Structure 1
Amino acid sequence: MTALKGSGTGALLIHGLGGTQFDLGPMHKALRRAGVETHAVTLPGHAGTPEDLVPVRAEQWLDTVTQAYDELAGQYETFHIMGMCLGGLLALALAERRQHTKGRLIALAAPVYIDGWSTPWYRALRHLVYHIPTLPARMRVEEDEPFGIKNDLVRAIVKAKFERGDNFHYRWVPLACIRQVDRLRGWVLDGAHRIACPTLVVNAREDELTSLRSADFLEATVPNVRKVVVENSYHMICVDNDRELVVSNVLEFLGFDPAQARRPARARVEVPMTGEAVAAVVNEYLQALTSGQFEALFPLLEPGVRWRHQGEHPLAGSYDDRDAVIGMFAKLEEIAGKTVRITVTAPPRIEGASAQIDVAASSVMNGEARHSQGTQTLRMRNGRISAVTFRPADSADNAVSATEPLPAPAG
């Protein structure tokens, strides 16, 4: 929808390095529910392949967001600027460049300093490598676990997306691109004291990319600033454990009631699943199970899923919610690594909203090969798996059924 000139409230939201608007999580929707018209930009070098970033310079990023700002700001009575990660640096630089006073500024996890807990001790040496011909364009900075995410389920979903090759975030960026981030950081360090608008700075205490030194610098340098530190997230604060807290702080800072902008809770009504819907869940489950992409199982589970694994082995027991099941998978990976293999030994038997699946599993634990067989019973409702029970085929299998927990959580 196009706003009348000079009326209403708008906002420019800027994504992070190698990312998309996924970086900002529910921010667009929350602002729209509050009555703010949001606008997004795609930064140069993005929405393609990581190689596209090699020739891009920081000036191009800043010029892109400046052009968007110049085209949009005049359409609204109030216009806000918000950015995440690289987008946060660009938001800060844009606000200083345009002496923005038509609205407010929000910098989310802006890496004014690249000194988080996962950055290597030799990170400063990159400034020497920048001057070696062709090397910065060929060197890759990999995006690896924990992907900036502390939440086990969200991290598993992101990992599954990477494994599938979904184009939502680059898996790596060239070192030449980091050089441009460093140049942009320098502009922010030099110009932050000239930012004229009220500014909200939100950073995570456990950010693996940037320490709280970044937030502390902005708090001490920007004339009119509020700093918020979240305690249960890594770098991607808009999609991690503190995402609702981040959204609430942003809305409150912009003068909105967070409760009014929150999505109305849906009534918990049991919706009968058709046979086709049940079969689709089972098929998706089996695909994840037999392909070894166990992270893809977690989104199939209800948050309150009840999972039971019978038998006598290290992972036998009861797991009463999705987080507990994810924890069980993490423990399984500790003791069996990537050696777990699951096969389905007979077609699933579906009756109503339940399915029985015969499985065989093999793995290597502590140097010992293990094999087992059994049956999983899945119960479904409202499109997800609400309960899983695994029963070993016989008592002889109990000693080696530690590999089976995998199938169960798959629900």
Structure 2
Amino acid sequence: MRECYEQLAATYKYVLVAGLCIGAALALALAVEVPNLTAISLLSVTLNYDGWTIPWYHWILNIAYRTPIRHIYSLKEKHPYGLKNAALRAKVEKSMRTQGDSEIGNASLSMQYIYEAKMLARYVTRNLAAVEADCLIMHVIDDDISSTANAEIVYSKIGASQRRKIFLDDCYHIITMDNERDLVARETQYFLKRRLRGVEVQRIHCRLLGRHILKTRLMIDK
């Protein structure tokens, strides 16, 4: 991640990083290590798996994560798959059932993956005050994977002087695909434009990190 950032920074004057789910935690980790990072956009940031689909006994897995079991056990994705849109959800569910993966990722997540995600989240939580990059936080009120407490923790503890928080109410966790995806795109673009207002036109390379990968180049006007 750091190496990728340095390659982009050597090519582009401004680098802005956006991440979805645990990808948002990864973006925060980069911001901790790179004080001069221009800005970050955190979409459904996940530091704790505490959404309404997470079973009450999930805490027991914290013990299993520290045993060899994490190398052989996987957790299956389940309804509603982070999607409130019924048509999209049905498409994802069918793809997972027949192919083992879908647009949102694999049909199951290894316990090793979740363990590493938790370790990343723990590191980020301890170092939020070191994040100085301008920050946009977008989260769902009724998130099935990570509650709004995740967004509130980040918003209240980061060291950024410029921060914006937006809560959505017509989608679930995968906000880049669900009902309010257009709003997410508009607000992200608005955030980037405001961050770069008053500077010369630049070609910005943005990479959306998380279950969903999006590579795009945006031309930002004055």
TM-score bin (small chain): 0.7 to 0.9
For 1:3-26, what per-residue CA distance to the aligned partner results, in whole angstroms no more than 9, with x for missing partners? Answer: xxxxxxxxxxxxxxxxxxxxxxxx
C-alpha distance in 2 between matches for 1:114 and 1:131: 17
Match of 1:115 in 2: 50
Q: Are 2:97 and 2:107, in contact at CA under 8 Å, matched by a contact in 1?
A: no
Matching residue of 2:119 = 183
Q: Does 1:71 align with 2:7?
A: yes
CA RMSD for the aligned pairs? 1.4
C-alpha distance in structure 1 between counterparts of 2:173 and 2:6, whole Å? 30
The Cα offsets for residues 249-277 of structure 1, whole Å up to 9 and x where unpaired, read as: 10110017xxxxxxxxxxxxxxxxxxxxx
| Distance in 1 separating the partners of 2:72 and 2:114 | 12
- Unaligned 5+ runs, structure 2: 195-222
Where does 1:196-207 land on structure 2 (aligned, <5 Å)?
A: 196-207=132-143
Residues 193 and 221, structure 1, Cα contact 8 Å, conserved in 2: yes
Verify the 8 A CA contact 1:203 1:228 in the aligned structure 2.
Answer: yes
Shift of 1:130: 2.0
User: Counterparts in 2 of 1:203-282, with a 5 A limit?
Assistant: 203-224=139-160, 225-255=163-193
Identity %: 25
Q: Is the 8 A contact 1:149 1:235 kept in 2?
A: yes
Correspondence for 2:209: none
Aligned: 1:137 with 2:51:
no
Could you list the per-position Cα deviations for residues 161-192 of structure 1 after superposition, in whole angstroms to 9, with x for gaps in the alignment? 22331654211011122111110001110111
Tell me, what secondary structure is at the counterpart of 2:45?
coil
- In 1, the alpha carbon distance for the partners of 2:130 and 2:146 equals 23
Question: 1:204-231, CA deviations, whole angstroms, 9 ceiling, x for partnerless residues?
Answer: 1111111000000011011332111111
1:105-131 Cα distance to aligned partner (Å, 9 max, x none): 011111112111010111111121123
Partners of 1:100 and 1:195 within 8 A in 2? no
Task: Give the structure 1 partner of residue 32 of structure 2.
Answer: 96
Post-superposition shift, 1:157? 1.5
> Which residue in 1 is equivalent to 2:216?
none
Matches within 5 A, 1:322-333: none
What is the 5 A alignment of 1:356-395? none
Number of positions where the alignment pairs a residue of Structure 1 with one of Structure 2: 190
> Which is greater in Rg?
1
Higher relative contact order (CA 8 A, sep 6+): 2
- Aligned residue in 2 for 1:285: none
- CA change 1:129–1:167 in 2 (3 A) is closer
Alignment CA distance shift 1:166-1:124 (3 Å): closer
* 1:195 alignment counterpart: 131
CA distance in 2, matches of 1:145, 1:114: 16
Contact 1:149–1:233 at 8 Å: present in 2 too? yes
Whether the 8 Å contact between 1:140 and 1:172 is mirrored in structure 2 is yes
Q: In structure 2, how many angstroms separate the alpha carbons of the residues matched to 1:100 and 1:156?
A: 42
Letter in 2 for 1:125: I
Structure 1, unaligned runs of 5 or more: 1-64, 257-411
Task: Give the TM-score, by structure 1 length.
Answer: 0.45
Q: Tell me what 1:361 maps to.
A: none
Q: Contact 2:19 / 2:25 at 8 angstroms: preserved in 1?
A: yes
Is the 1:85–1:108 Cα contact (8 Å) retained in structure 2?
yes
Shift of 1:100: 3.2
